[in-house]
Amino acid sequence: MFRFRPARFAAGVETHRLDGIPVRVSSREKSLADCFKHRNTIGLDTVLEAVRLYRQQGRVNENRLLEFAQMCRVSRVVRPDLEALL
């Protein structure tokens, strides 16, 4: 379990409709930034797999990812990995 400040928790939340029910889901970029933030807990292999899956989906938005990385205070960690994998 992770704790988030309300502003950081609400950032990047998108509402999707599944079977007519509104569901709040974090954006792909926010989820990836959260993976980097908690990399010591979830493991670096999980983070690298998340980056690989993000890249395979083909809709890479580096600016938005760096925006969320900056919000989560992991932009220095994210930048080298992005340059290597993207």
SS3 category, 7: helix
pLDDT at 42: 93
% of the chain at pLDDT higher than 70: 94
% of the chain at pLDDT higher than 90: 33
| Measured distance CA(69)–CA(42) in Å, rounded | 17
Residue 81 corresponds to which tokens in the numbers above? 């990995």
pLDDT tens-digit readout, 23-53: 999 899 999 999 999 999 999 899 989 988 9
Residue at token pair 């990385």: 69
Residue 63 corresponds to which tokens in the numbers above? 């600016």
